[in-house]
Structure 1
Amino acid sequence: MLRRIVVPLAAIAMLAGGATVAEAAPGQSDNLARTATATASYTSSWESVAAVNDGIDPATSNDTVNRRWGTWPNTGEQWVLLTWSAAQTLKAADVYFFDDNGGVRTPGSWRLQSWNGSSYVDVAGATGYPTAANQYNAVNFTAVSTTRLRLVLQSGAASVGVLELRAYATAIGQSSGNWNPPAGLVTPLNQVWQHVEQTYPNLYGFRNYGWDQVFANRGSINYCVRWDSSAPVSAALRDQIHASLARQFKKWMDVMAGHNGWPYQNVPLKVVGWAVRDRATLQWSDNSVDVYVNNIRENAPQCSEPCGRFFNVSGNYPNCPGGASHHYDMSLWLTAGMNGGAGGDWGQRVGSEYFVGAVNNDNIHILLHEIGHSFGLDDFYDWTPTGVGGFLMKAGSATSITEFDAWMLRDWWRHLKSRYGY
């Protein structure tokens, strides 16, 4: 029997009170920060610098349950330092920022420094320093041997803080470089790929899979919602729909994190627009997303075609009203009265009532299935690979991403990764 999984994390354990040990990023097993001593430029009297490497995995940046390191009311340049008793070879780190949406916010910028015996110097070859809330922010860099790693933060809107800082001897996303599925899945995976190659002769020439879209955006994805319904949408429901879509998409991307050279620890999803027949259906007046009214295609509201990747596979959007930053890669097409779903390089289509009714569910299984199609995964209506039972892409036989689904997705990456230089 297959073990169903949502996110394959390495070395997970549970602490008293339900906190999760943050041993390492997915695919990593070498978090060296746990053996270091943490100190800081300043620590608020009610916070703790020991929080930064205590191994507790935050649920959000505004973690109100576990201890945190923060510098309120101090601003400007602040730092936290990891010190080891012996030199460590380091090639990567990731940091989860503390942000309470008040006096402590994500930093304006940050960088990593190593100790060379006489001074602190910026690490060489850093791949970038993202500052996102509610996730780990990863950076790979040129290997360095040092007894100290210093995280230097420049405050932005307020004071700064950190919930967890992890350091690694191997580059994030590159520690699992081999194709190593469970032995029992090798035969069915080979059968699936053979079937894919025989069924889709343009498999390797097609350039608008979800893979292509993520890489075109350098590790993110944009959506537009096609609201094919007369039911009203409040601002609160809009935000729930956005969050739910992002959660479902993340489940597939977490399958890839740390696997076989996959370069992205996180793939953020942003909804940039909504399409409706009647503007009054949308019960909000803010401009957080673009709104397209009565632009009808396939007898349904359509987001601006000049902004859609499906209509501009080159990835250029010279006629998009808001510019390239307002482009959308896929659509979430929510259709009143629809049963079942459909999915492809254009996005996913499911019933609007179904989606809204399941908006807070952990797994919206029809949508998950259709997202799988957007990344190339096939249907299994008329056959089942040898030795496997229920799995998400065999419609109706599973309601979450199974181990076999995960390895089918990874197999696509194995066969397409060379087109992206990996």
Structure 2
Amino acid sequence: MRRLAIPPLLLLMTLLFPLREAAADTNVARSATPSASYTSAWESVAAINDGIDPPRSNDTVNRRWGTWPQTGTQWAELTWASAQTLRSADVYFFDDGGGVRVPASWKLQYWTGSAYADISASYPVAADTYNTASFAQVSTTRLRVVLQSGQGSVGLLEVRAFAPDTGGTSGWNPPASLVTPLDEVWRHVESTYSNPYGFRNYGWDQIMANRGSINYCVRWDSSATVTAAQRDQIHAALARQFKKWMDVMAGHNGWPYADVPLKVVGWAVRDRAQLQWSDTSVDVYVNNIRENAPQCAEPCGRFFNQGGNYPNCPGGASHHYDMSLWLTAGFSGGAGGDWGQRVGSEYYLSNLNTANMHILLHEIGHSFGLDDFYDWTPTGVCCFLMKAGSATSITDFDAWMFRDWWRHLKSRYGL
């Protein structure tokens, strides 16, 4: 098996967001759904928890939430699928020096289950910095930032909501026997690749950009036909294998998602007649050839649009795909990278009900940054999935290597 090289042009230096001083707390805002009392048509409430650290209150580059021309009392809110235990929050005000200014005052409210209650805290008001409110712990599914306008309308660039790290499996606590080999692996990553921190299209980045989900395109690189039943089995098998890696992260070290839904949004094929279904559950792309294989439309692919915008994608951003499952007739072994995974179509179809499709699992590991181990083995370990041919399922060592990538990258998401 081989790992495709990361394109040099994508290895650009980027600024990693600094870890908050209160390292024992975890920012859980990224896993929430944002909403607001009002949003200007050209602004976006999604800005408030997109993890982008503002350079200044008059940020003219990144998304912003603003309420111009509305004034008076306005609010922005974070809603979680399950209750969060919170004890502090940071807000960064939007102030363009014109119609949107820092508020005259602000406060936090939490949802009790039947009503909103004010949170007692000190509420500073300053531009060009995070304003922190610390408070007695509350458990809630909704946190509301209530803003009272002053010289103009109001807005926010970012909200961070912090929950205490409960320890145990939620932190970084690998077994003692794995500390040395894990350290060796990460040192190898840093010394081998020019800037592993700067690359911005790992599977981690894709999931975080989607707020906890992943979209796929299937590249059907075969002359065989596919029935609707086979299509559904192919989708289900991919979702099961991808979930095995996501289950490694659930509840660990500030990972914000208990589940990461996978959706296949498109199929690419040379001849539409090969796909023996007429429903519209997936987009179909015909004879769009790249690398001598069918491919879903480039305007819909994250690999080609890493800014996360898809203005020319038919159907819009919801029809975008983050990675491709490239199924090639007669292909042996596998390949993987930020673009997706490639395996043999015969191998895949013959293993639809296999518990561990080990070649695909290995290649998914590459999409999240995990390396191959062709010419060396970390101290004290012998057999693991990413060392091709030595294991057929995700081992404890694979799981902790995976978590180690998250440990080194999580700060870029404000976590």
TM-score between the two structures when normalised by the length of structure 1 = 0.61
Whether the aligned pair in 2 keeps the contact of 1:174 and 1:259 (CA below 8 Å) is no
Q: What do the CA deviations read for 1:16-72 (whole angstroms, capped 9, x no partner)?
A: xxxxxxxxxxxxxxxxxxxxxxxxxxxxxxxxxxxxxxxxxxxxxxxxxxxxxxxxx
Query: How many residue pairs end up in the alignment?
Result: 273
Superimposed CA distance per residue, residues 182-218 of structure 1 (whole angstroms, 9 cap, x where no aligned partner): 0000000000000000111121111000000001101
Alignment of 1:362 with 2:385, yes or no, is no
Provide the C-alpha distance between the structure 2 equivalents of 1:388 and 1:330, rounded to a whole number of angstroms: 31
Structure 2 equivalent of residue 91 of structure 1: 85
Asked if 1:287 corresponds to 2:299, the answer is: no
**Number of the residue aligned with 2:173:** 180
- 1:91 Cα deviation after fit: 3.3
Matched, 1:320 2:313: yes
**How far is the alpha carbon of 1:321 from its aligned partner?**
1.1
Q: Does 1:249 align with 2:246?
A: no
Residues 348-397 of structure 1 deviation map (CA, whole Å, 9 limit, x = unaligned): 00000000000111110000000000000000011100000110000011
Helix, strand or coil: the match of 2:259? coil
Contact 1:228 1:300 in 2 (8 A): yes
Given residue 91 of structure 1, which amino acid in structure 2 is its aligned partner?
Answer: T
Unaligned runs of 5+ in 2: 1-82, 87-109, 120-135, 142-162
Amino acid in structure 1 at the alignment position of 2:85? K
Q: 2:255 aligns with which of 262, 280, 295?
A: 262
- Matched residue, 1:10: none
Structure 1: tracts of 5 or more residues without a match? 1-88, 93-111, 126-141, 150-169
Provide the C-alpha distance between the structure 2 equivalents of 1:189 and 1:122, rounded to a whole number of angstroms. 46
The answer as to whether partners of 1:173 and 1:264 remain within 8 angstroms in 2 is no
Give the letter aligned to residue 253 of structure 2: N
Tell me how far 1:121 sits from its aligned partner.
3.8
How big is the shift at 1:90? 7.7
Q: Contact between 1:306 and 1:320, CA under 8 Å: does it hold in 2? A: yes
Contact 1:175–1:260 (CA under 8 A) maintained in structure 2: no
Looking at structure 1, the residues matched to 139 and 413 of structure 2 have their Cα atoms a distance apart, in angstroms, of 31
CA distance in 2, matches of 1:200, 1:361: 34
Match for residue 404 of structure 1 among 388, 397, 405: 397
Instruction: Name the counterpart of 2:289.
Output: 296
1:374 maps to what in 2?
A: 367
Separation in structure 2 between the aligned mates of residue 268 and residue 172 of structure 1, nearest angstrom: 25
Q: CA deviation at 1:248?
A: 0.5
Over the matched positions of the two proteins, sequence identity in percent amounts to: 78
Is 1:227 matched up with 2:251? no
- Letter in structure 1 aligned against 2:184: Q
* 1:124 to 1:322, Cα distance in 2 relative to 1, 3 A: farther
The equivalent of 1:310 in structure 2 is: 303
SS in structure 1 opposite 2:341?
strand
Runs of 4+ that moved beyond 6 A: 122-125, 170-175
- Structure 2: distance between partners of 1:403 and 1:385: 14
Contact kept, 8 Å, 1:210 with 1:345, in 2: the verdict is: yes
- Aligned CA RMSD, in angstroms, stands at 2.5
Could you tell me how far apart the structure 1 residues matched to 2:194 and 2:293 are? Answer: 31
Q: Does the Cα contact within 8 Å between 1:248 and 1:364 map onto a contact in 2?
A: yes
Partner-residue secondary structure (3-state), 2:240: helix
Map 1:94-113 → 2, pairs under 5 A: none
Contact 1:173 1:265 in 2 (8 A): no
Report the AA paired with residue 183 of structure 1: A
Q: Structure 1's 408 and 291: CA in aligned 2 closer, same or farther, altered over 3 A?
A: same
Shift of residue 124, structure 1, vs aligned partner: 8.8
User: Against the structure 1 CA distance between its residues 261 and 278, is the aligned structure 2 distance closer, same or farther, given a 3 Å change threshold?
Assistant: same
Q: How far apart in 1 are the matches of 2:343 and 2:278?
A: 26
Contact 1:341 1:367 in 2 (8 A): yes
